Amino acid sequence: MERKILQNINTEEAIELTRELIRIASPNPPGDNRHIAEFLVKTLMKKGFHSTLSQKEETQVNVVARVKGKGGGRSLLLNGHMDTVPIGDQNKWTVDPLGGECRNGRIYGRGSTDCKSGIAAMIIAAEAIWKADIELRGDIILALVAGEESLSENGTGYLLNEGLISADSVIVTEPTTLPAEYPTDQPLQIFTASRGMVWLEITVEGKAVHAKIAPQGVNAIEKMSTIVLALQHMSSNLYHPLCGSPTINVGIIHGGTSPNIVPDHCQIILDRDVVPGEDPMKVTEQIQRVLHKLQEEDNSLKATMKIISIEDPVEISQDEQIVRVLNEGIKALFSVEAKIGGMIGANDSRFFIKRGIPTVICGPGITTQSHQIDEYVETRSVFNAAKAYALTMIRFCQ
Ligand SMILES: [Zn+2]
């Protein structure tokens, strides 16, 4: 039965579908994905799947297709996002970002890696099972979501909040494949953990005076520089085996009005990564303590801190059924187990894991290609992912 299904994986169509999806622009911002959603509904219909549309925002449409099982089995949901980051400076691209050009085993274009190839692979996998005319016991759910590049409140978050999707386990099809130059027998990785993050805004208030009498004022930019340096020295000894060490990045700074005025205001916004095992609230307290200490040492330093957003890190056990079944499938297909890893950025797995649904990330896209100029995916990875998904669907839902 498994062999028959794997033979049904239509590699030509997997490539064509990826290329077609790249050609339908879905940049976020603005996040309007109505065209690609409409195309996917038609594609799913042609392949024999019924799908439903739902949206919180009019322009951000989610597509959910369900292959009903006969009952009594585990259900598996595959989740991939239709939106992409914007193209950026098109002059820097050497290929048409919306062309879906295919050459030398690569498909190029915005969204090729993140995450349109993942969507193509899951549809081709589900179609292979449908064509084999096998009735599984559990349901297979394909959730093609909107708004992932803007924190998913209109996509996966919305679908879960409204009770429009649920499953016993989930595969998020974000890029987890190693690039070809990486020496490995098995480039398809399984990620069981993801970093979270804390975004903080720190404001320093100073005292404005004319630059010629600067010592009588309080220079908010100079005061902020001591904070920035102190943050850089806040090294964390923490090391997570799958997610590495957390990073801190001051990404935005504003302050001052004129070279001849001592600035009375300076503001930074920083991103502090949070790895599984760390509590984001404790991390913010730690940074608050650094501010307190600096203010104790310098009574002219007046700093306040505000939390802008918090995403919890997430992790599941490698003993979860979905990890085992997917990895056994990969081993059966490619004679070597997948490497288990962690995702450096936040992704939709956090919504499922927080609700207690074991979720892995595994997709054909290349981890280092997301959001890049000349983004590409390797065609062989699209086939490999489609095969791994199909085998996991049968084994998990039978
Ligand atoms: Zn993505």
Calculate how far, in angstroms, residue 14's C-alpha sits from the geometric centre of ligand 1: 19
pLDDT at 22 over 90: yes
Residues 322 and 279 in one domain: no
What is the total count of domains within the chain? 2
What are 358-382's pLDDT values in tens digits?
A: 999 999 999 999 999 999 999 999 9
What are 160-183's pLDDT values in tens digits?
A: 999 999 999 999 999 999 988 877
Residues 254 and 385 in one domain: no
Calculate how far, in angstroms, residue 353's C-alpha sits from the geometric centre of ligand 1: 17
Residues 125 and 237 in one domain: no
Give the number of other CB atoms < 10 A from CB of residue 262. Answer: 23
pLDDT at 185: 73
Residues 179 and 219 in one domain: no
Residues 157 and 21 in one domain: yes
Residues 376 and 270 in one domain: no
Question: Which of 74, 224, 213, 62 is CA-nearest to residue 138?
Answer: 74
Query: What CATH number is associated with residue 127?
Result: 3.40.630.10
H or E element, residue 344: none
What one-letter code names the amino acid at 106?
Answer: R
pLDDT at 349: 97
Tokens representing 193 are 């953990």
Higher pLDDT, 223 or 1: 223
Tokens representing 283 are 């991390």
Q: Give CA–CA dist 216/223, Å, rounded.
A: 14
Residues 297 and 345 in one domain: no
pLDDT at 237: 79
Q: Give CA–CA dist 272/309, Å, rounded.
A: 11
pLDDT at 236 over 80: no
Angle between helices 379-397 and 11-23 (to 10 degrees): 110
Give the number of other CB atoms < 10 A from CB of residue 166. Answer: 15
Query: What CATH number is associated with residue 224?
Result: 3.30.70.360
Share of the chain above pLDDT 70, in %: 100
Give the number of other CB atoms < 10 A from CB of residue 2. Answer: 16
Calculate how far, in angstroms, residue 264's C-alpha sits from the geometric centre of ligand 1: 40
Q: Are strands 265-274 and 196-205 parallel, antiparallel or unpaired?
A: antiparallel
Calculate how far, in angstroms, residue 339's C-alpha sits from the geometric centre of ligand 1: 20
pLDDT at 241 over 90: yes
Calculate how far, in angstroms, residue 84's C-alpha sits from the geometric centre of ligand 1: 7
Of 311, 330, 345, the last residue of a domain is 311
Beta-bridge partners for 249: 271
pLDDT at 186 over 80: no
Residues 201 and 268 in one domain: yes
pLDDT at 346: 85
Calculate how far, in angstroms, residue 163's C-alpha sits from the geometric centre of ligand 1: 23
Q: Which residues surround ligand 1, an ion (CB under 5 A)?
A: 114-115, 174
Give the domain extent around 281.
Answer: 196-311
Question: Which of 244, 121, 103, 243 is CA-nearest to residue 171?
Answer: 121
Calculate how far, in angstroms, residue 281's C-alpha sits from the geometric centre of ligand 1: 26
Residues 331 and 304 in one domain: no
Of 257, 281, 311, the last residue of a domain is 311
Which 3-state string (H, E, C) describes 241-295? Answer: CCCECCCEEEEEEEECCCCCECCCEEEEEEEEEECCCCCHHHHHHHHHHHHHHHH
Residues 202 and 161 in one domain: no
Residues 341 and 238 in one domain: no
Calculate how far, in angstroms, residue 148's C-alpha sits from the geometric centre of ligand 1: 7
Calculate how far, in angstroms, residue 371's C-alpha sits from the geometric centre of ligand 1: 9
Higher pLDDT, 3 or 18: 18
Residues 10 and 123 in one domain: yes
Q: Are strands 140-145 and 76-81 parallel, antiparallel or unpaired?
A: parallel
Tokens representing 389 are 């998904």
pLDDT at 345 over 90: no
Calculate how far, in angstroms, residue 236's C-alpha sits from the geometric centre of ligand 1: 27
Beta-bridge partners for 197: 273, 311
What are 68-88's pLDDT values in tens digits?
A: 999 999 999 999 999 999 999
pLDDT at 119 over 90: yes
Of 311, 338, 369, the last residue of a domain is 311
Calculate how far, in angstroms, residue 81's C-alpha sits from the geometric centre of ligand 1: 7
Mean pLDDT score of the chain, rounded to an integer? 96
What are 314-343's pLDDT values in tens digits?
A: 999 999 999 999 999 999 999 999 999 999
